[in-house]
Amino acid sequence: MDQPIILLIVAAIVFALVVGVGISLRVNARKKGLDDRRGIDAEVTGELSIDDVAEAVEKDKAEARGSEVPTEPASRLVRLRERLAKSNSGLGRGLLNLLSRDNLDESAWEEIEDTLILADVGVEPTTELVDRLRERVKVLGTRNPEEVRGLLREELIELVDPTMDRSLADTGKGGDPSVILVVGVNGAGKTTTVGKIARVLVAEDKSVLLGAADTFRAAAAEQLSTWGERVGVETVRKEEGADPASVAYSAVEKGQADGSDVVLIDTAGRLQNKRGLMDELGKVKRVATRPLGEGHEIDEVLLVLDATTGQNGMQQAKVFAEAVDITGIVLTKLDGTAKGGIVVAVQRELGVPVKLIGLGEGADDLAPFTAEGFVDALLD
Amino acid sequence: MFNSLSDRLTATFKNLRGKGRLSEADVDATIREIRRALLDADVALPVVRAFTGRIRERALSEEVSGALNPGQQVVKIVNDELVGILGGQTRRLNFAKRPPTVIMLAGLQGAGKTTLAGKLAHWLKSEGHRPMLVAADLQRPNAVNQLQIVGERAGAVVYAPEPGNGVGDPIQVATDSIEVAKSKLHDVVIVDTAGRLGIDEELMQQAADIRSAVNPDEVLFVIDAMIGQDAVKTAEAFLDGVDFTGVVLSKLDGDSRGGAALSVAEVTGKPIMFASTGESIKDFEQFHPDRMADRILDMGDIMTLIEQAEKNFDEKETEKLKKKVESGEDFDLNDFLTQMAGLKKMGSMKKMLGMMPGMSQYKEQLANFDEREVDRVEAIVRSMTPQERSNPKILNGSRRARIAKGAGTTVTAVNQLMERFTQAQKMMRSMTRGGGMPGMPGGGGMPQMPGMGGMPGAASGKKKKPAGKKKGRKGGQSGNPAKRAQEAQALADKKAGKTQDPVGSAFGGVDLGKDEEFDPANLPKGFGGIFPGGKK
């Protein structure tokens, strides 16, 4: 390495500083502000907790007055432990430890942690989950690893939230077709997923139109039309290298003219750190619904996530969410040994539900996502 | 948000000041950090366990506890071990003594086999071979078609007797292809197979049958760099099934940390031979174990940065700037503009800052960084007259007001920019003077660090300053940059007075005692400590 290169780096650093220091300073300032605010929050919570206790006591009294039925001793103990667990005083902690010795040994905890990490849940969410679980175990005084697993299952299911709406937006507004855009990184299984969704929709007696907006990868459009032909669905396509946004536009235009119920648009795979490609995707999304007139937003943007993906899945979800505001996730390749635990983290952070799961290369290997089933497989 | 391992370990060792030896508890804390860093990088758990076990052993030995800066020493050990596993046996493709050489590709669905087949053909062609592609993926719709197009782009012949889409026998196609290659005098045959899951026995058997039918010289296992914990199971299944001889890591142009590389290399003992780094047919390279190690440890990718810089910077301008700086002249805003033009060509600022080692801890800030900030700065500079650019000192209140108006911003923004610029200028000056880089305006106007003069070279100098920055932040930092700097100075003085400051040296990628002069080879690692401060 010779002098000029070093100089280049230096120049880069200089520039990074000239521009970058600004950020760091500003962020620092903001952080400071945050800290200050947090300080106040802490004070407020302090007061609140006192209020809480008072309120709880009040409530207890009221209950006692009203029904005269004393609470069960077991649950009273649980409540006491709960309060102790929340208290921050050393005495409270000590008391809690005395009251509820956690008899599970470290290896049992480690095993639980390993299960989650091996399922790609990620270190941070795992640690958080396990910590919360430890607390609950202390509160409930559980000693049995099996029961703890049950608790973990509960926690996970709660995290995945079975009550979320996981249905596809497959009915358009005001007679217009519903437009579904499918996005994801290379090789996640977008085209296959589009083909499978088309089959499901056709089986539901919906008229479907496919848009092959993957004009980049060799033979992607052919792959999609092969899927379409199998179920008698038409595919709108243009020559290789055409503007994907224009393909999406034409597809929606045609869908509207034909009175289709759903227009499914397949896009080219792109790694989330390619900014130009992400911008292109933003354009596809903007342009796609233009034939439908003002105010008609795209109905569904599905991110296809490969279950084998590790911690990078989080980054993918974040960036795609930023670029095209994803409304659902399709978790593919769950028929392998991978568990796809990263979606737990994704859902926790972004609140985007997994709507469908892909279970293989067979034409009908697409299933709706169920929280319980997923969690059970995760802990398997 | 994870920091680079180097930074984390430094934080772990911060508390060891004054202690001569590492206790077992200290080592445990270190191991925990390493474990976490590796898991965050998607290294598989069993591999992490084995790996940390080895590190633990070495960390408890003399080489660490005796070292001046145990933190850095541990990072070095980790790095060594990583490079050892990743590149212990890098090798080239084995070519058959009697052509054709047969290369078979295998992997999961969507790993990038077909794309890689094209890249490999293109590369072999440029090396003077006559490759032939064989379409043995008869499973996925239009995979044959895709291979044909890819082959066309690579300028290679494609043997595709079957239409695919579930029609045809891949084993037969593979077997026939060898004869065809012989008769048409192709010296390399690349067999593209269908993607399959490790647990799909039927398809694994088919892959094994293809293998025995064509008797390949190389079986390359293509694996997605983004894969998580499943890497081990998959790799083992494919090793059992097709007994691959080498590994290709695909989609390395993404921003995954690529821990899978380590998992696969460790579990199978097979070398990683190539990396696939983009969608164009040329984006294919030999695997660099050291770069991969840095990436897994989140040390930044300074080599890539340099390569890009070389491609995009105007050589003449840089040479001019170099001369200017060396002759002791000040770096002015005109130079700034030219350099910025070059930097802009290198792509997104975010991405570049991300590649700088140690920047990962600023990930959040980087994520919030508005790319247009660059344009705003440029607007301010462009609103100045040439005279003002070459001599910013003449900027008075009214000039600043005019500039702010011209750039559509406030005078405060102009002032801030000028302040930062003055700091950068100072840094440049001290760099040319002492070869060190003392006053980095990182935490806001860092003064010369104590003991700076005695620093051996630029590398260690660069590492030294963030130490100061950190100290500055630690003790009840001030919002006022100047004041904070003062505090940092005072704190540093205090420390320097008390003990030989181990924090400072812990940042060094190079052992201070050993490296008398700046060795550029140490740069990537040395840069590992550029911004280690700012812990929350």
Q: Say if the Cβ atoms of A120 and B230 lie within 8 Å.
A: yes
Same domain, B375 and B388: yes
B481 falls within a domain: no
B231 falls within a domain: yes
pLDDT on residue A53 = 46
Range of the domain at B23: 3-85
Q: Are B133 and B159 in contact (CB under 8 A)?
A: yes
- Helix/strand number for chain B, H first, E second: 25, 8
**Which residue in B42, B112, B520 is closest to A311 by CB distance?**
B42
- Is the pLDDT confidence value at B457 over 70? no
Residue B136 burial (10 A CB sphere; 0-12, 13-18, 19+): buried
d(C-alpha B65, C-alpha B23), whole Å: 9
A308 interfaces chain B, CB cutoff of 8 Å: yes
Chain pair A-B, CB pairs under 8 angstroms: 249
Same domain, B78 and B106: no
Q: What is the Cα gyration radius of chain B?
A: 27
d(C-alpha B501, C-alpha B152), whole Å: 62
Same domain, B293 and B310: no
pLDDT on residue A246 = 93
Considering only alpha carbons, which residue of chain A is nearest residue B324?
A: A7
Q: What is the pLDDT of residues A332-364, one digit of tens each?
A: 988 888 888 888 888 888 889 999 999 887 888
| Nearest by Cα to B205 from B244, B171, B246, B231 | B171
| Strand positions, DSSP E, chain A | 178-184, 208-213, 234-236, 262-267, 300-306, 328-332, 354-358, 366-368
Chain A contact probe: residue of B236, B256, B263 with most A CBs at under 10 A? B256
d(C-alpha A279, C-alpha A340), whole Å: 27
d(C-alpha B90, C-alpha A74), whole Å: 64
Q: B252-255: list long-range contacts, CB under 8 Å, 24+ apart.
A: B252/B225, B252/B276, B252/B277, B253/A271, B253/A273, B253/A274, B253/B277, B253/B278, B253/B283, B254/A185, B254/A271, B254/A272, B254/A273, B254/A312, B254/B225, B254/B226, B255/A271, B255/A272, B255/A273, B255/A312, B255/A315, B255/B354
B512 CB contacts (<8 Å, ≥6 apart)?
B68, B455, B456, B460, B505
Helix B24-40 vs helix B5-14: angle between axes, to the nearest 10 degrees? Answer: 160
Q: Name the token pair of B65.
A: 């506890």
pLDDT on residue B168 = 83
- Is the pLDDT confidence value at A45 over 60? no
Q: Which residues 225-264 on chain A approach chain B with CB closer than 8 angstroms? A: 226-227, 240
Same domain, B397 and B447: yes
pLDDT on residue A134 = 84
The CA-based angle B386-B390-B392, given to 5 degrees, is 100
**Which residue in B39, B322, B343 is closest to A15 by CB distance?**
B343
Regarding beta strands A262-267 and A208-213, do their DSSP bridges make them parallel or antiparallel, or are they unpaired? parallel
A7 interfaces chain B, CB cutoff of 8 Å: yes
Q: Name the token pair of B89.
A: 């046996």
d(C-alpha B416, C-alpha B405), whole Å: 15
- Region B217-221: mean pLDDT is 93
Q: What is the DSSP letter of B245?
A: S
SS3 at position B253: coil
Helix (H) or strand (E) holding A373: helix A371-379
Same domain, B8 and B112: no
B488 falls within a domain: no
pLDDT on residue A97 = 59
Regarding beta strands B218-224 and B246-250, do their DSSP bridges make them parallel or antiparallel, or are they unpaired? parallel
Confidence of residue A324 (pLDDT cuts 50, 70, 90): very high
pLDDT on residue A305 = 92
d(C-alpha B250, C-alpha B258), whole Å: 10
Considering only alpha carbons, which residue of chain B is nearest residue A228?
A: B141
Smallest CA–CA distance, residue B378 to chain A, in Å, is 10
**Over chain B, what is the mean pLDDT?**
72
A71 interfaces chain B, CB cutoff of 8 Å: no
Choose one of B243, B277, B299: the last residue of a domain. B299
Helix (H) or strand (E) holding B273: strand B272-276
- Is the pLDDT confidence value at B527 over 70? no
Confidence of residue B74 (pLDDT cuts 50, 70, 90): confident
B426 falls within a domain: yes
Q: What is the Cα gyration radius of chain A?
A: 27
Confidence of residue B520 (pLDDT cuts 50, 70, 90): very low
Q: In degrees rounded to 5, what are phi and psi of residue B246? A: -155, 165
Same domain, B153 and B203: yes
SS3 at position B164: strand
Q: Say if the Cβ atoms of A308 and B224 lie within 8 Å.
A: yes
More confident residue, B526 or B24: B24
Smallest CA–CA distance, residue A276 to chain B, in Å, is 10
- Is the pLDDT confidence value at B252 over 50? yes
B475 falls within a domain: no
Regarding beta strands B131-136 and B284-286, do their DSSP bridges make them parallel or antiparallel, or are they unpaired? unpaired
Choose one of B275, B299, B323: the last residue of a domain. B299
Q: In degrees rounded to 5, what are phi and psi of residue A56? A: -60, -45
B257 CB contacts (<8 Å, ≥6 apart)?
A311, A312, B40, B41, B42, B295, B296, B298
Peptide bond into B100 cis (omega under 30): yes
**Which residue in A192, A219, A273 is closest to B149 by CB distance?**
A219
Q: Say if the Cβ atoms of B142 and A4 lie within 8 Å.
A: no
Considering only alpha carbons, which residue of chain A is nearest residue B340?
A: A15
Chain B contact probe: residue of A3, A9, A21, A330 with most B CBs at under 10 A? A21
A29 interfaces chain B, CB cutoff of 8 Å: yes
* CATH for B196: 3.40.50.300
B342 falls within a domain: yes
d(C-alpha B439, C-alpha B471), whole Å: 15
Confidence of residue B348 (pLDDT cuts 50, 70, 90): low
Q: Are A345 and A318 in contact (CB under 8 A)?
A: no
Q: Which residues of B touch A199 (CB under 8 A)?
A: none
pLDDT on residue B434 = 53
**The residue type at B489:** Q
Q: Report the range of poorest mean pLDDT among A30-39, B258-267, B439-448.
A: B439-448
ipTM: 0.71
**Which residue in A19, A114, A315 is closest to B374 by CB distance?**
A19
A6 interfaces chain B, CB cutoff of 8 Å: yes
Q: Say if the Cβ atoms of A22 and B416 lie within 8 Å.
A: yes
Same domain, B45 and B120: no
More confident residue, A66 or B217: B217
Confidence of residue B477 (pLDDT cuts 50, 70, 90): very low
d(C-alpha B220, C-alpha B246), whole Å: 5
Same domain, B180 and B144: yes
Q: What is the pLDDT of residues A138-175, one digit of tens each?
A: 777 776 777 888 888 888 888 888 888 888 887 777 77
Same domain, B120 and B36: no
End-to-end CA separation in angstroms for chain A: 52
What residues does B191 pair with on adjacent strands?
B104, B134
- Is the pLDDT confidence value at B222 over 90? yes
Q: Are A169 and A300 in contact (CB under 8 A)?
A: yes
Choose one of B35, B60, B85: the last residue of a domain. B85
pLDDT on residue B16 = 55
Q: Say if the Cβ atoms of A333 and B110 lie within 8 Å.
A: yes
Q: Which residues of B touch A336 (CB under 8 A)?
A: 108, 197-199, 230, 234
B50 falls within a domain: yes
* CATH for B56: 1.20.120.140
Q: Are A336 and A119 in contact (CB under 8 A)?
A: no
A377 interfaces chain B, CB cutoff of 8 Å: no
d(C-alpha B292, C-alpha B159), whole Å: 35
What is the greatest pairwise CA distance in chain B? 83
- Is the pLDDT confidence value at A1 over 50? no
Q: How far is CA B324 from CA B119, B329, B434, B438, B461, in A?
A: 44, 5, 16, 20, 22
B477 falls within a domain: no
Same domain, B249 and B259: yes
**Over chain A, what is the mean pLDDT?**
78
In chain B, how many domains are there? 3
Residue A85 burial (10 A CB sphere; 0-12, 13-18, 19+): middle
Q: Report the range of poorest mean pLDDT among A88-97, A208-217, B398-407, B524-533.
A: B524-533
**Which residue in B109, B362, B441 is closest to A17 by CB distance?**
B441
Q: Report the range of poorest mean pLDDT among B94-108, B244-258, B305-319, B390-404.
A: B305-319
Same domain, B277 and B359: no
- Region A240-262: mean pLDDT is 91
More confident residue, B447 or A267: A267
Same domain, B320 and B440: yes
Neighbouring C-alpha atoms within 13 Å toward the C-beta of B154:
36
pLDDT on residue A282 = 92
Share of chain A above pLDDT 90, in %: 22
Q: What is the pLDDT of residues B117-157, one digit of tens each?
A: 999 999 999 888 999 999 988 888 788 888 998 899 888 89
**The residue type at A308:** T
Q: Say if the Cβ atoms of A223 and B141 lie within 8 Å.
A: yes
| Nearest by Cα to A2 from B520, B257, B208, B513 | B520
* CATH for B316: 1.10.260.30
| Nearest by Cα to A50 from A101, A20, A86 | A86
| Nearest by Cα to B471 from B500, B437, B498, B443 | B443
| Nearest by Cα to B488 from B449, B454, B437, B534 | B449
B325 CB contacts (<8 Å, ≥6 apart)?
A7, B331, B428, B431, B432
| Nearest by Cα to A209 from A235, A181, A242, A247 | A235
pLDDT on residue B455 = 34
